[in-house]
Amino acid sequence: MKQKLVIIGNGMAPGRMLEHLFEKAPEAFEVTIFNAEPRVNYNRLMLSPVLSGEKDYQDIITHDDDWYAGHGVTLYKSARITGINREKKTVTSENGITADYDKLVIATGSNPFIIPIPGHDLDGVLVYRDLDDVDRMLDAAKTGGRAVVIGGGLLGLEAAAGLKMQGMEVTVLHLMPTLMERQLDTAAGYLLEKAFRDLGIDVITRANTHAVLGKDGHVSGVRLDDGMEIDATIVVMAIGIRPSTQLAKEAGLDVNRGILVGDDMRTSDPEVFALGECVEHREQVYGLVAPLYEMAKVLADQLTGGTSAYRGSVTATKLKVTGIDLYSAGEFAEGEDREEIVLRDAAAGIYKRLVLKNNRIIGAVLYGETADGPWFFDLLKKQLDISEMRETLVFGQSYQGGPPLDPMAAVAALPDDAEICGCNGICKSKIVNSITELGLTGVDGVRAHTKASASCGTCTGLVEQLLAFTLGDSYTPSAVQPMCGCTDLGHDEVRHLIRAKALKSIPAVMQELEWTTSCGCAKCRPALNYYLVCDCPDEYADDYQSRFINERVHANIQKDGTYSVVPRMWGGITSSDELRAIADVVDKFDIPTVKVTGGQRIDMLGIAKEDLPAVWADLGKAGFVSGHAYAKGVRTVKTCVGTDWCRFGTQDSTGFGVRIEKFIWGSWTPAKVKMAVSGCPRNCSEATCKDVGVICVDSGYEIHFAGAAGLDIKGTEVLGLVHDENDALEHIVALVQMYREQGHYLERIYKWAKRIGYDEVRNQILRDAEKRRAYFDRFVFSQKFAQIDPWSERVSGKDKHEFNPMATLTLEAAQ
């Protein structure tokens, strides 16, 4: 007598399980399947090609009616099981069918998770799980309009690409900063986002959906937390799946996140097995197909009396969107005992990263070229020692065994007319001839004389190799100091390339400029953050986690971890009200030290971090704003009392100092900027050792720059004499902007000006009115985004997490 095997669910996992079962013991069971869907078994992985129109339903059927008939399987379609009676060993369906079992397999899969926001139940809010969902999306696509896809994971992105191919406008909303963050690191996530934009799909990251908006019961759009509204004719929620466990729970089986099974795929009832996405095994739930197939094999063996065991799976993911090649497997987190191999090819849009531990691959992320994905995954699963082929590993399988590649040999082998610089159409012979005829010794020279690598810069490496090839040992790569250990590029090159390639984020810079680490270091991140803040003030979202603590909490950290606070006193002028407010704050918060600074203001030292917002709130009430005493930015404009009081004053030095400070405060600069205005050549405000200084004279304003009075002592250089205060302001602002655009991070004005030449500054700022005006205008534009008091922002709640502990634990009495 055959045993009765009942299977609840007809997805890919039970399909595969039955194949194994019939192969091993075709006569052992009488099989009955209950399928809630009204159809046979199909390949769910292929839903995306169906949605995009590249395949249709018939193409993706894995088991048709004939197959079930041929194996004597009874398949009930549209028959959702509503109850399991474990005592009587029966299951009963919604439409009244009851079946006995000897062995039961629960394969109920998973349910899409729907965010319970207002409007989630409107007509036109869809999920992406089965063929019915695809049909609904295809129907909606016929009328066109915009689809909003919530969720930038695997499913959401495939849905977005499919809907786009069906002719809809598509916006993807993703809560996290980068797409597919569970499978990809930020570099690959960046490339993916770029590829989606190239497909014409809008991607909004850090997007928290507040509500689905409706009209007459149907979706009309979505609203985000920040108030932004997007019109939509359909909304697809693809934020994740939950194991479908309701049935098992009601039957009294042990259920956690999923239905709990052991290595033998048995639930807490030995006659009942579970399989697939509904399962939780060793605290893991799986949503990808490979682990489900592994489970299916084990279950088939167990059902036929075997002893094989499922021990969990490592998983690999591949995104199925035409034109985008993406592969991710295993773990890609960094760790101390882990090493990484990163290969980037910016021009080809390739990023490959292998994560190694003890000379074995434990993770791989591939973007742009994924042919070697399965090979890496195989090495990963087999845990093979790769030390033998380590040097060439990342290049893939086809490179193994051959002689190691010599980049010089490749360059030498190029024909004379091979194009090196695509932007400017410069070929190899032109560069080589220039090097020999003009005696060039470095990339800068080649750039100046041939224009090769002067535009986008991606051929810089090739040009360097040509220099090495032509000059032999006499070529010493330019003394350019790399920014940090994460790149060979110097600050100048990085700034140049950020502009040439219009890069707008730190991951973009790291990818396009081929950073050798995945997320930079404490040296390059603050620099890149500044360069991007400076170059795209309107578009770039300041990355606070890449800022030094002082700039993150807008106060100066002291040796004991407390902070000091310096409010702005414009031009060093204060009043009794301001002083009283400071005195009150000092008393109220018991501030231990109050000191007058060299920049003509007052420093309160020794304030606990938690007290900062309250201190600022009180200071703010008296009209104070942040003095940016902590910032790589504009600090103070020191003044003397000028014509207001001084019998020698020639101009209103105080008024002008205040005016400059009010114009430029809040601006970020490569390093701190300190200024001063003196009312006469006696120079009581010591303007001639400042970054920028003004000496007022009878005929106008003598502008100085590039002074220093710190690590180095240096008197200023004279920029020139300007007769009118407005003109003087324009010169000063333009000079600061020129420095902002050209300075290396942490390089003070005096070093920058010496590096580029004092005359170059005079040429651009004093002698070229058009350039000056352009600098001035760019500064004014960037101030629109910079001149916001950070203290009052934080008093009103911004970055609250910075100032409060996350938790307080009370110690237990020692025993």
Element (H, E) at 229: strand 229-231
Mark the segment that binds other proteins (CB under 8 A) among 180-188, 192-200, 245-253, 261-269: 180-188
Phi, psi of 650 (to 5 degrees): -105, -25
Interacting residue with other proteins among 132, 544, 763, 788 (CB under 8 A): 544
* Token pair belonging to 151: 């969720």
Interacting residue with other proteins among 526, 537, 567, 627 (CB under 8 A): 526
| Secondary structure letter of residue 128 according to DSSP | -
608 near other proteins, rule: CB under 8 A:
no
Residue 91's SS3 state is strand
Gap between the terminal Cα atoms of the chain: 65
Torsion of CA 166, 171, 172, 177, to 10 degrees: 150
Residues 686 to 705 in contact with other proteins, rule: CB under 8 A: none
Q: Which residue has the tokens 């009118």?
A: 724
Least distance to other proteins from the beta carbon of 559, Å?
A: 7
- 339 vs 578 by CB, closer to other proteins: 339
Torsion of CA 578, 584, 587, 588, to 10 degrees: -130
From 636, 622, 538, select the one nearest 588 (Cα to Cα): 622
- 546 vs 639 by CB, closer to other proteins: 546
Residues 74 to 113 in contact with other proteins, rule: CB under 8 A: none
Interacting residue with other proteins among 58, 481, 726, 808 (CB under 8 A): 808
Least distance to other proteins from the beta carbon of 545, Å?
A: 4
Q: Are 170 and 147 in contact (CB under 8 A)?
A: yes
723 near other proteins, rule: CB under 8 A:
no
Q: Which residue has the tokens 């809560």?
A: 175
Interacting residue with other proteins among 57, 548, 758, 785 (CB under 8 A): 548
Least distance to other proteins from the beta carbon of 462, Å?
A: 29
185 near other proteins, rule: CB under 8 A:
yes
Size of the site for other proteins (CB under 8 A): 40
Q: Are 517 and 486 in contact (CB under 8 A)?
A: yes
From 724, 731, 729, 782, select the one nearest 761 (Cα to Cα): 731
215 near other proteins, rule: CB under 8 A:
no
Interacting residue with other proteins among 32, 465, 518, 651 (CB under 8 A): 518
Rounded to 5 degrees, what angle do the CA atoms 235, 236, 241 make? 145
- 116 vs 805 by CB, closer to other proteins: 805
Residue 78's SS3 state is coil
How remote is the C-alpha of 508 from its chain's centroid? 9
519 near other proteins, rule: CB under 8 A:
yes
Interacting residue with other proteins among 520, 571, 599, 666 (CB under 8 A): 520
564 near other proteins, rule: CB under 8 A:
no
- 185 vs 301 by CB, closer to other proteins: 185
* Token pair belonging to 188: 């690959």
Least distance to other proteins from the beta carbon of 518, Å?
A: 8
Least distance to other proteins from the beta carbon of 549, Å?
A: 4
- 240 vs 461 by CB, closer to other proteins: 240
Interacting residue with other proteins among 549, 594, 605, 646 (CB under 8 A): 549
545 near other proteins, rule: CB under 8 A:
yes
797 near other proteins, rule: CB under 8 A:
no
Mark the segment that binds other proteins (CB under 8 A) among 40-48, 144-152, 592-600, 800-808: 800-808
- The secondary structure of 483-548, three-state, reads CCCCCCCCHHHHHHHHHHCCCCCHHHHHHHCCCCCCCCCCCHHHHHHHHHHHHCCCCCCCCHHHCC
Residue 249's SS3 state is helix
Phi, psi of 439 (to 5 degrees): 65, 40
Phi, psi of 487 (to 5 degrees): -155, 160
**Pattern of binders to other proteins over 320-349, x per CB under 8 A?**
------------xxxxx-------------
- 553 vs 675 by CB, closer to other proteins: 553
At 710, the amino acid letter reads G
Least distance to other proteins from the beta carbon of 750, Å?
A: 24
Using alpha carbons only, how large is the chain's radius of gyration in Å? 34
How far is residue 536's CA from residue 532's CA, in Å, rounded to a whole number?
Answer: 6
**Pattern of binders to other proteins over 118-157, x per CB under 8 A?**
----------------------------------------
557 near other proteins, rule: CB under 8 A:
yes
Interacting residue with other proteins among 521, 579, 583, 769 (CB under 8 A): 521
711 near other proteins, rule: CB under 8 A:
no
561 near other proteins, rule: CB under 8 A:
yes
How remote is the C-alpha of 765 from its chain's centroid? 37
Residue 162's SS3 state is helix
Mark the segment that binds other proteins (CB under 8 A) among 129-137, 383-391, 428-436, 550-558: 550-558
List, in sequence order, every residue forming a beta bridge with 234; answer none if it has no partner.
Answer: 147
- Residues forming contacts to other proteins in the complex (CB under 8 A) are 177, 181, 185-186, 332-336, 517-522, 525-526, 544-550, 552-553, 557, 559-561, 801, 805-812, 814
